[in-house]
Amino acid sequence: MSGFGWRGRLGPAVPVAPGARVDRFEVFFDLVFVFSFFIITRATALQVSGGALLHALLVLAVLWWSWVVHSVVATRIRLGEGFVPVLMTVGMAALFTFALSLPNAFRDPRGNAAGPIVAAVSYTVIRMVHLLLYLHVVRDSPNERRQLLRFAPEVIGSTLLLGIAALIPPKIDDLFSAAAFRDGLWATVVLLQYATGLIAGTWGWGVASAEHWTERYDLILIIALGESVISVGVGSNLLGQPPTWPAVAAAVLGIFFTAALWWAHYDMIGPAARIALHTAQDGPRVAMARDAYAYLFLPMIAGIILFALGAEMIVHQIADPHVPQHLPALGPGVPLLFGGVICFICANMLFQLRTLRTVSWTRVGAVVLLAVTMPVAQHIPALAALAVMTAITIGMVAAEVVVFDEGRRALRGLVFEERTSHEAHEAAYRARWHEPHERDEGE
């Protein structure tokens, strides 16, 4: 059957409307994508070191760029309609394979040849799927095709560099190790990708539905926060140990401070930023979407992975019945926990500054307090360190609820009014489905 035939049977690609929302297939793809976060966390937790953290951040940055490209494609066509889900399923399979290969992406090619090569090939397939879909979208627009050419060096360069990183020999002229060369190639890929996004500019691009764009990124952040809870529960062996009061307390504290970080973004900053993106138009809207969401969500995700690693190490120690509870947290658990939360809050402050042109003094105070108490937390019992972290994050959101009460009420009222109006419009539209039935009964 020809390409036209199977595309004709499945249906054409459907463009995204200005008021479009995220469809279920996109959420399905997001779950596979966030599985990569879990793999990165688990692979790093096996041996937490400077090199392992560097590799985790490099992989995360490369992976996140594929998400950014994916979100750009999703602004133009509905991923769950027509023939598009077929191609996206191929991309999902490649993404799943890429995630499975990540723990071995930096291994010696002699000892584990499949890992680096599978990562490079899988990533190439992901980028090709996105490229094919976008070429289909812009096939009738010469201006957009020219804009797409600006990204050609990045696509070619990224896939080639990752391929070279997978195939280099263990030693290169005995001058330096292949590991350092491979790390340099991955770092070059990251620089190439994110620099291209800035150099290419905003001309020729558009965000048809600000609602779709913001909802997409907000969902991925929620799922990442949920994944951090799973990572702590599974990695710290809470499921394999009989419950003790310290372990239960640690689990509760972990949920509380994660919920506080959720609140920090989704109570005021996220909804206000969504309205700001709706208000912006043309180039300024694209620039805000790129800077605030595509770029600044990356350090927020990185912070989530870092504090998940730290929380896992601390909770594992607390849940171990053979470790005395009065001992301070062993290893780098406290720096990872506090550093990850600081990274998340700082990135969220930059997000707030870019979208709303404001900075909350409560966030600045929380970051300073976290930095000051981190050395102290390394010398107190592990459970107490976790309690300090929870108290600071909950205190931050509690202070914002009290201090910014008037602005918060106004924002929540506006959001509720918008939601009520939207739901009333949907109810009125669906009421038409009952009209023929009611007329039949009247007759």
- Mean pLDDT of all residues in the chain? 84
Query: In this predicted model, which residue has the larger pLDDT, 127 or 176?
Result: 127
Query: In this predicted model, which residue has the larger pLDDT, 182 or 143?
Result: 182
Which of 104, 131, 135 minimizes the C-alpha distance to 40?
104
194 and 239 co-located in one domain: no
What residue ranges in 236-333 does DSSP mark as E strands?
A: none
Residues 6+ apart with CB under 8 A from 170: 108, 109, 110, 177, 178
338 and 435 co-located in one domain: no
Contact 314, 250 (CB under 8 A): yes
pLDDT, one tens digit per residue, over 39-98 is: 888 888 878 888 888 888 998 999 999 889 888 888 888 887 778 888 888 988 988 888
pLDDT band at 24 (very low <50, low <70, confident <90, very high): confident
43 and 19 co-located in one domain: yes
Query: In this predicted model, which residue has the larger pLDDT, 270 or 231?
Result: 270
Query: In this predicted model, which residue has the larger pLDDT, 308 or 204?
Result: 308
Q: Which residue segment(s) compose the domain that 268 sits in?
A: 208-403
pLDDT at 301: 94
Alpha carbon distance 152, 168 (integer Å): 24
152 and 59 co-located in one domain: yes
Q: Helices marked H in 113-244 — which ranges?
A: 114-137, 142-149, 152-167, 178-199, 210-235
pLDDT at 337: 94
Query: In this predicted model, which residue has the larger pLDDT, 236 or 67?
Result: 67
pLDDT at 1: 40
Q: What is the mean pLDDT of residues 289-296?
A: 94
Could you tell me the CA-to-CA distances from 13 to 66, 105, 139, 207 in Å, in that order?
Answer: 21, 35, 12, 17
261 and 161 co-located in one domain: no
Amino acid at 266: Y
pLDDT, one tens digit per residue, over 355-386 is: 999 999 999 999 999 999 999 999 999 999 99
Alpha carbon distance 423, 410 (integer Å): 20
Alpha carbon distance 51, 364 (integer Å): 30
pLDDT, one tens digit per residue, over 280-291 is: 888 888 999 999
Which of residues 205, 232, 264 is at a domain's end?
A: 205
188 and 164 co-located in one domain: yes
Alpha carbon distance 15, 196 (integer Å): 26
Alpha carbon distance 159, 119 (integer Å): 10
121 and 214 co-located in one domain: no
Residues 6+ apart with CB under 8 A from 392: 366, 369, 370, 373
Q: Looking at the 3D structure of the chain, how many domains does it have? A: 3
Which of 73, 96, 61, 94 minimizes the C-alpha distance to 26?
73
242 and 300 co-located in one domain: yes
67 and 128 co-located in one domain: yes
